[in-house]
Structure 1
Amino acid sequence: MHVEQPADALQVFAESQQIFEQENNLYWAASLELYRAQVQYLAGRFWESRFLSTTAHDRFLS
């Protein structure tokens, strides 16, 4: 699947993240949170990006 719109990418990442969380696959859930942070950063949404990247960082440490 190739997604060109940031909003579409964020939706796909969020849905995928929920699936991995339900499967208790915390590594991939954190990875998808980081991917969401990257999309937000590229869209110029720096506060959202920082929040998501900080949350991903905390998930990787736990």
Structure 2
Amino acid sequence: MARYTINYLTGDTETIQADRVEEEGTQYTAYLGNDEDHSVIVSHIPVASVRSIHHQDAQAVTD
């Protein structure tokens, strides 16, 4: 499971644990599980409130 840091426009931050975060219209949805039919939603985050979302466990890609 990955950790994501959400930076809000207010300056607040929040860390969530999820397998993936997807943008769905006016919100980001965080899911546990990689199977779209059997995943559990762990968070809904309004897009208009978010400055950035960082996948903490991701590695940088360089050429």
Common topology (TM > 0.5): no
How does the TM-score come out when normalised to structure 1? 0.27
More helix by share: 1
How does the TM-score come out when normalised to structure 2? 0.27
Instruction: Tell me which of the two structures has the higher relative contact order, counting C-alpha pairs closer than 8 angstroms and 6 or more residues apart.
Output: 2
More strand by share: 2
Q: Which has the larger radius of gyration?
A: 2
